[in-house]
Amino acid sequence: MTVLEQPGSHRPPPSRAWRPRTDPAPLLPDAEPYRLLGTPAAEALDPAFLRLLHGHLVRGRRYNTQATALTRQGRLAVYPSSSGQEACQVAAALALEERDWLFPSYRDTLAAIARGLDPVQALTLLRGDWHTGYDPREHRVAPLCTPLATQLPHAVGLAHAARLKGDDVVALAMVGDGGTSEGDFHEALNFAAVWKSPVVFLVQNNGFAISVPLSKQTAAPSLAHKGVGYGIPARLVDGNDAPAVHEVLTEAVRRARAGGGPTLVEALTYRVEAHTNADDSTRYRSDAEVTAWRAHDPVELLERELTRRGLLTEKDIAVEREAAERMAADLRERMNEDPPLDPMELFDHVYARRTDQLTRQAEQLRAELAAAEEGTDR
């Protein structure tokens, strides 16, 4: 006997309230990735802002290569390069107002730096010197998040709390395509949609979750289509077109600030380097694939647009690259310094109020350090 065959199981036909609460059509993402560079719409873009974007991209590319070199020199334990994804990183930071919050993943160091974070502080966690490496409140950049997608519910919580307090704040949360397979992604989008939280989700779809291709993660038409299931409008954008990513994110931030709720943005991009220095990407993708994406390089795309319009000369490009080299030299010099480390800092900034267990552990370590120092003095 089925449930419907049981006594008293008769149900009237579904009422109108049973039907979809909203029209799904406005929630659907673009049929093709949104682009600006190389289109007539690019002519209307602000030249000064395009040059600003270009400078950030050039410095970001050099930062990636320098940080990768530091791992080979033993100065970093690991570095997840974002080479090829610089447009997403820079656009995300520049789309926010000073009062807003950025919630990055471990690969989003460039977004944090574009937000104003010290380049050395952005690498401190990856060097293993300190807890986070910076004060999140100073630039409103949450800690670089290594566990996949756990920063997404945090972003929703902050955005929801800000709205309850009446603060004019938007949170922008960044995640990779692999992170969309985590339960935290579902929970964050569901809560954000129900609460209409002022949060923007940026998915950087670089094709692989380490070695797992997107086709092994989802059968959805696109990751942007996932927004429809939560009642969230979605956008699909060329993630290597810096002005396009910035425009889409700026509109999403403006909508969130005006009370329109969350937006899901999928940026199609590609990491041309390995997942980290511990990864051998030749085992799961071909050189031809990487070469094809290098032809769609975000730095070169913007440089071509600017030079075509006469807004950037070879001399201008050289100036930006020289500035990037100075930044890299400063980063290299400061990262080659061994910072003074206090083992007792292990217990700082863990809890606002230290637990009894941590207090006992701190006392034990303090005694061990004192004994070691006494032994050295003898």
Active site positions, annotated: 271, 275, 284
3-state DSSP assignment of residue 9:
coil
The beta-carbon contacts of 283-291 under 8 Å, at least 24 apart in sequence, are 283/211, 284/208, 284/211, 284/213, 285/207, 285/208
DSSP one-letter string for 30-72: PSS-B--TTSGGGGGS-HHHHHHHHHHHHHHHHHHHHHHHHHH
Between CA 118 and CA 130 the distance in angstroms is 15
Between CA 192 and CA 225 the distance in angstroms is 16
Of 101, 68, 69, 102, which Cα lies nearest the Cα of 88?
Answer: 102
What distance, in Å, lies between the first and last C-alpha atoms of the chain? 86
Residue found under tokens 């996949």? 148
Between CA 144 and CA 57 the distance in angstroms is 20
3-state DSSP assignment of residue 268:
strand
Asked if residue 304 lies in contact with residue 54, where contact means CB atoms within 8 angstroms, the answer is no
